[in-house]
Amino acid sequence: MNIKLAKSAGFCFGVKRAVDTVNSEISKANNKKIYTYGPIIHNEEVVNEFKAQGVDVIEEGADLSGVEPGTVIIRSHGVSKEVQKNLIDSGFDVVDATCPFVKKIHKLVDEHSAAGYYVLVVGNPSHPEVEGIVGWINGEDYKVISNDSDLSFLENVKERKICMVSQTTYNHRKFQDLVEIITEKGYDILVLNTICNATEERQVEASEISKEVDAMIVIGGKKSSNTQKLFEICKRECEDTYYIQTKDDLDLSVLQSIDNVGITAGASTPKNIIEEVQQYVRDEL
């Protein structure tokens, strides 16, 4: 069995930084309570391991009044200005592990909305990262769009300058298509491409490997949207693509008659889980 492991599989820079932040806070907690605001990453194993070390999750939007004081770590997706203020006002020590690439978007929309731009955010409106970005826009002059299906709102901003940013995980090609469509309509747009390369590099590599192998294994949490996207990309190129969370989900019988298998993993999949899967496939097949 030949195994091709994607170099880009696993934690990206921002996720690694957030997980390292939790470990660092645990090491200096000294009986102080530690929380993450929402699960630190979309990976149950990691969240449960932290829970076993006393790190609890404060669910987004939860009433903070009855929560024991302590340190709250903001995850890589970031939060709105209001949520951050609310945590500080409620007496928590806030440790901000927002990915610097997301933080940059907060700054851009904050500054440009204050300067009078209409802000257009391209991404999934219900994704926490996008909710956080929207929460840094001053005023109500903004719109979140996930595709080009309804651009009728542009009629109402005809005379305005538009500042266009995107969710870090948005698709490059689709973003460029949107820029072209809006430019062709004659709008004055300031395009700030805020897509993170880590996502694209991972997707391109996964797609390339999928073309070369007989079966593809994609490892990641079921709720991880970047892993789901990775799975779709691999499935397009390789019919025998399997989405697993850990090695226990892998049905070895489906891999019995193949020679080449590829492995990739989403941005929130820890290295040890990837290594376990790789070792399992190597040992058992």
- Give the interface with ligand SF4 as residue ranges (CB under 6 A): 12-15, 76, 99, 101-102, 168, 196, 198-199, 267
Long-range contacts of the stretch 64-72 (C-beta < 8 A, 24+):
64/90, 64/92, 65/90, 67/35, 68/33, 69/33, 70/32, 70/33, 70/34, 70/35, 71/25, 71/29, 71/32, 71/33, 71/34, 71/35, 71/95, 72/35, 72/36, 72/37
Instruction: Give me the least distance between CB of 31 and ligand SF4, in Å please.
Output: 30
Tell the smallest beta-carbon distance from residue 196 to ligand SF4 (Å): 3
Q: How far is the CB of 219 from ligand SF4 (least distance, A)?
A: 16
Q: Which is nearer to ligand SF4, 196 or 281 (CB)?
A: 196
Instruction: Closer to ligand SF4 by CB, 15 or 133: give it.
Output: 15
Q: Considering the complex, what minimum distance in angstroms separates the CB of residue 98 from ligand SF4?
A: 9
Of 12 and 120, CB closest to ligand SF4: 12
From the list 129, 184, 239, 284, the catalytic residue is 129
CA angle 75, 241, 232 (to 5 degrees): 55
Annotated catalytic residue 205: no
Give dist(CA 255, CA 24) in Å, integer: 40
Q: Which is nearer to ligand SF4, 33 or 103 (CB)?
A: 103
CA distance 147 to 235: 22
Phi first, then psi: what are they for 41, rounded to 5°? -145, 165
Question: What are the counts of helices (DSSP H) followed by strands (DSSP E) for the chain?
Answer: 9, 12
Which residues are known to be catalytic?
Answer: 129
